[in-house]
Structure 1
Amino acid sequence: MGITTYNKDTLRVTNQWPYAEVYSVRPDPNVKSSQPQLQRLALIVVDNNRKRHELTFASEYRAEVLTDLLRFRDRFGERLKPSSRIAANKLGWSERVSSVLLSPTPISIDKIDSITGTVLKSYLYRDMECIDRVSLFDPHLTAFILSVTFTSCISDLLSLFYCHF
């Protein structure tokens, strides 16, 4: 498996790269003035001689494309750096506190069970409305609210996390 591009009019395959040939993918911040609605992304591939080539693509769905591509980043040629984990507490809607680990990844903030190490929830960046810091009376605690909008839900999800620093 890998990445395939198609002609948008005929849906004919135009290019294919196995994941092992993909070095990385990233947003391209440059915007063409003639098409501001199209956001670009850069795909860096490696050829048989280990030479890197940067290919640029434009899509109005850049966030979705990047998120879907980066789900398979563990199969890319670029070596993954271990992600950091931060011990935190989550205050649930029923005021129940649970100990979790938070781990930032290229596509999300993962909430991880602190005992089993299982990913309980991935908050995708593309779905985040905002991250707001919350003032607390304890100067040793840092708290923030994560507001996420899911396309399958009508309302937003608000999650309150706090940790000791």
Structure 2
Amino acid sequence: MAGPAPDLGSYLIVKHSTWKGKYKRILSIGAEGITTYNPSSLEVTNQWLYKHIINISPTLRNTAQNQVANEFQLSMYKRNKVDHMRFSSDHRTDIITKVLGHRAAFAQPLVDNLRCTGHKLSGQDGSKRSSVILLVTPRGVEQISTGAAGGGGCAGVTVAHYHYADIAALVP
């Protein structure tokens, strides 16, 4: 990366290595990529530009005890081949959400986002309906204004972002 840029978030994580076992790292999410540090010495241990990252996703697997709910996988190009690294953190949803904010810069092109229309219910009894456009993105759902009265003014403007980490449920 070209010089230090302010980090958007830093997290204590555990790296899962098949040959070294599990060990702690600091994962920093920056404007241009992701960096991991040794927490004892703050030495840079790995660095990936977003243009080399293929994907970040939760890892859901069952163990003898229970489902591992805090693991995630980072997939990237390394020496012209695909490499996968597994990590775990209590802040998995925040990490994935922040990294997916840079999805447009990833190595593989972004598939078109799903766009659909719907209605937002408001009022104490939910009886007031206003038309909305919802755009499903890699890190959440965006509410886009329709330009209609009560729809947020100008058409096509992002009115709100709802990150998956903050969504309890989607109801049909």
Same fold flag (TM > 0.5): yes
Q: Which residue does the alignment assign to 1:109?
A: 141
Q: Which runs of 5+ in 2 are unaligned?
A: 1-31, 148-154
Task: Give the paired residue count.
Answer: 132
Contact 1:25 1:70 in 2 (8 A): yes
Identify which of 129, 139, 143 aligns with 1:97.
129
73-82 vs 5-14, greater mean Cα deviation: 5-14
Q: Which residue does the alignment assign to 1:125?
A: 164
Q: Which residue does the alignment assign to 1:88?
A: 118
Contact 1:103 1:109 in 2 (8 A): yes
Contact 1:31 1:40 in 2 (8 A): no
Identity %, equivalent residues: 30
Contact 1:83 1:105 in 2 (8 A): yes
1:63 match: secondary structure: helix
Report the Cα distance in structure 1 between the residues aligned to 2:86 and 2:68, rounded to whole angstroms. Answer: 16
Q: Which residue does the alignment assign to 2:9?
A: none
- 1:16-165 maps to which residues of 2 (within 5 A)? 16-30=47-61, 39-49=70-80, 51-93=81-123, 96-115=128-147, 116-133=155-172
What is the alpha-carbon root mean square deviation over aligned residues? 2.4
99-108 vs 30-39, greater mean Cα deviation: 30-39
Q: Which runs of 5+ in 1 are unaligned?
A: 134-165
Q: 1:38 offset after TM fit, Å?
A: 6.5
2:113 match: secondary structure: coil
Amino acid across the alignment from 2:74: L
Q: 1:98 offset after TM fit, Å?
A: 2.5
Contact 1:31 1:38 in 2 (8 A): no
Q: 1:43 offset after TM fit, Å?
A: 0.7
